[in-house]
Structure 1
Amino acid sequence: MARDYGLKGQAAIVTGSTSGIGHALARSLALEGVDVVLNGLGDPVQIEAERAELAAETGVRVHYHGADMTHPVEVAEMVGFAQAEFGRLDILVNNAGIQHVAAVEDFPPEKWDQIIAINLSSAFHATRAAVPIMKAQGRGRIVNLASAHGLVASPFKSAYVAAKHGVVGFTKSVALELVRTNITVNAICPGYVRTPLVEAQIADQAKTRGIPEARVLDEVILAAQPNKRFVEYDELAGLLLYLVSDLGASATGAAFSLDGGWTAT
């Protein structure tokens, strides 16, 4: 029998949710009766089709806000938009992220700044805007998508690793600030999920290391995951639903590994 997580009627923002992990997480919330604001990049026609399809499938209100995660004012406006449309904001999922792979001496400074802005700073700006709303409601759930790279490092990913370590530290600090407010703050640290971002990494790593893509998959991408398989969207969604429901009320300030044993080694 399917579990009822008690989320019907709540409202959420999921950043970076026009594809990949973010879209899967937004859909998992919508299927539980949560109204959702989608956010992310892509073709406007395709985004509208995805928004309409999700609304039709789940019967909840699904809106889109095109906030650029590198612009703090737009991030704050997105949070205000969600509150205006839904009259509340219960769940914030900071998922937006990009990647660039290069040796540190070749790493473009503009790529460093962009990755830090999107992967780390946007979580701060969204959280800063959301917390007063959640405090006024007396409850809230903030979930930050970090990574196994928020706990351990890999070469050629200096900006991404720095940002994701920052996300984990940010999660812990804010959780302690809010620990008596009935607002929890947690991070999910997945290993590799087969997303468009990872597909791009396979090609980038092949070029950087000078090896075929098949070898990158076996020797680089999944080399660190002892179970030798990608993390599934449903596995991420299951953890998210636990954290945002009352079942996860005592979980705060934690970084949950979902990585096939990667960080256990």
Structure 2
Amino acid sequence: MKFFFRFFLCVACAVGSVSCSHHKIIPDDELALIFHDAFLANAYLGPRNLAHDSLNVYEPIFARYGYTTQDVHYTIGNFSKRKSARLGDVVEQAIDLLESEGKFFSREVAVLDTIDNIARRSARRTLRADSLLRVRSLADTARVSFSFDVVPGEYEVRLKYLVDSLDLNTRGLRSQMWLERSDSSRVQTYTVSLRRLSEGTLSRKFTVDSAHRRLCIHLLTFPNKPLRPSFTARDFRVTHTPPVRVAVGQLYEQQLGIRIFADEFFRAAAPKDSL
């Protein structure tokens, strides 16, 4: 493993400058973190014998820190202009981070966790998002009832809510969510009482398999005789994340041919007249 890092250092130090003023220069500390995550990804991908070279699978790593592949190219290429800076120092910083983490976690667990999380974040989809939902009459309650057909994975429901002083229901207001099976039976039922006159937060995750067919969400229910409500929901969001195995598979299919710091990477960062 040390040999690989030393080899990378020799190749990286030979990279020339790139002139592209609209790209960002990544600070050394952040670049070291990017290298750290990329080295873990390399270790995970190494034994999989993927045939093609590409950087696309690492775009989520760059994006996590707010940068693009072109920003990384540009930053590496500009090290030659910085007399007091060496790319090798940044690589050594990333190595030190890895070695420090190795004291607490096994290498295999750290690598798998990094790649799995990248894959899950990449595959996560928002099914519904509303910044503001208001219920000021009984007829409005239909606005805060939702139903989603589901596939295996994890569904998360999040929102902030307020039951204000204009609400005439003195007690008993609730939110209810559940999964429905193919035989219409309910499982993973979640019921929570809504607090009055203070903003509350609801967050619930549902684990779905092939036996489930629908996710039902009723943000406002009345156990007793309903009176005029005054309910506000903010930042309501429903997301779906597929199982890890599926997410990683999708990532490989979408970004097939994966190697960071391959020859193509450095050729992209080198000046045109040096090719």
State TM-score, norm by structure 1: 0.23
Pair member with larger Rg: 2
TM-score (norm 2): 0.22
Q: Please identify which structure carries the higher strand content.
A: 2
Higher relative contact order (Cα pairs below 8 Å, separated by 6+ residues)? 2
